[in-house]
Structure 1
């Protein structure tokens, strides 16, 4: 399904330049700072969360224009259920509305033919929200575009527990030998690592967290083992394309081929006598 060209020309042009280099196949986001953003503006917390969703759609479009194959977002932690009931109820209402929006023909998911997957302890999700999630996922089953993993009612510990139980069950059923339990088997048992079509999701190449926090907060602890981490001081709803592009520049500079070329250039300069 072809996407509409809704990005401004300068942003498409910038993305085309980045595509000349190595683009991360899988980018993950900890979308932190919605509540602080609302407080800074003196508005209701719900307005901050709404702005956060709008930013997600914007960032998704940047990633899609860059050619990113998979995006995983930390939408709602299991720990977030400990927040005041009124805030949790408002967040669930927003989630229900936004998953309903994903089903619309003009939504980003539909325009780009994205595959949608929800990962987490969905038993904790209110039935009305879960129903919209399931409808949104069902509408993307025939899609072949990039993957959006939404981690909802999620923690990495819960996902690891799920994987462990699945492996134990497989060994008891005789489907998996103990000697076959390795990193690949564990990865395959993690829901966020397997796309709806059963294919393995690329490893996380780049993980971005906004709001100035320098921690992973129980998000993709296994999958992000080899990822480049970027911690930005900007709040999630205020994230700009230029801040994201600065992260991409650092990502591309960190790639082995680029780093090796830079080292060779420095050595060449030294050997030519241009450096003291």
Structure 2
């Protein structure tokens, strides 16, 4: 074992001791897959695959630390403008991952519930069917909640909720004056019960939140942590540093 392999676990333990508060809901903007591939002289697909592998590890860390809800920003509405081959590869990989939920023993063991956040009408039929299959297979699970932001846009999220509310008012003849914060949250993400975001993490040295989960994050003043590593290079140390920022925010609020 090299020196880094010896020191990193020790540093992880030190960081963990500094984190008295663990966030309930962490949202992650996984940036840098393409730049990682370019840095290593690899094709774009290899960068996305490396990012998917890192996601698997990160979910294990989150479960180990006691985080109950994780939302991953995987594909935005703006990403549809990327090259056709790249979008096709990503959709095939997403389909593969959603279908793997049906047979993954960890999903059963940890009682993981998988849900999509975004606009399913924008997805190809086969991917949409895979999403529905994963959601249906895990709908009774309550151990850990994994939300996949796919075909997602922050403004579009509010538009979809508004449409649902207007349809409810039209059908039930409800008084528009009854529309309040709780009603919006009830219709947000089609009533999937996703809690407020405590911590947003963005990798790849990009210092912006890209309007990610504006109601649940910005509306609840979540802590934000920006870090330099591209997503495939994200480490448990980086996750713990982010949690330390959240812990410091909690301590400041209670002071």
Rounded Cα–Cα distance in structure 2 between residues aligned with 1:16 and 1:83: 38
Partner of 1:68: 67
Which 5+ residue runs of structure 2 have no aligned equivalent? 1-8
Residue 252 of structure 1 is aligned with which of 238, 242, 247? Answer: 247
Residue 190 of structure 1 is aligned with which of 185, 188, 196? Answer: 188
Alignment of 1:100-179 (within 5 A): 100-106=99-105, 108-174=106-172, 176-179=174-177
Rounded Cα–Cα distance in structure 2 between residues aligned with 1:135 and 1:201: 19
The answer as to 2:223 corresponding to 1:228 is yes
Which 5+ residue runs of structure 1 have no aligned equivalent? 1-9, 261-276
Q: Which has the larger radius of gyration?
A: 1
Rounded Cα–Cα distance in structure 1 between residues aligned with 2:78 and 2:239: 27
Residues 175 and 19 from structure 1, CA distance in 2 versus in 1: closer, same or farther, beyond 3 angstroms?
farther
The answer as to 2:82 corresponding to 1:83 is yes
Q: Is the 8 A contact 1:115 1:148 kept in 2?
A: yes
Residue 203 of structure 1 is aligned with which of 191, 196, 204? Answer: 196
User: Per residue, is there more helix in 1 or in 2?
Assistant: 2
Rounded Cα–Cα distance in structure 2 between residues aligned with 1:248 and 1:189: 29
The answer as to 2:206 corresponding to 1:213 is yes
- Residues 74-133 of structure 1: CA deviation (Å, up to 9, x unaligned): 111111111111111111111111212222233x43331111111211122112222222
Which structure has the higher relative contact order (CA within 8 Å, separation 6+)?
2
Q: How does the TM-score come out when normalised to structure 1?
A: 0.81
Rounded Cα–Cα distance in structure 2 between residues aligned with 1:258 and 1:164: 33
- Residues 17-41 of structure 1: CA deviation (Å, up to 9, x unaligned): 5597211111000111100011111
Q: Is the 8 A contact 1:18 1:66 kept in 2?
A: no
Residues 162 and 110 from structure 1, CA distance in 2 versus in 1: closer, same or farther, beyond 3 angstroms?
same
> How many positions carry a matched residue from both structures?
244
Rounded Cα–Cα distance in structure 2 between residues aligned with 1:211 and 1:175: 48
Q: How does the TM-score come out when normalised to structure 2?
A: 0.88
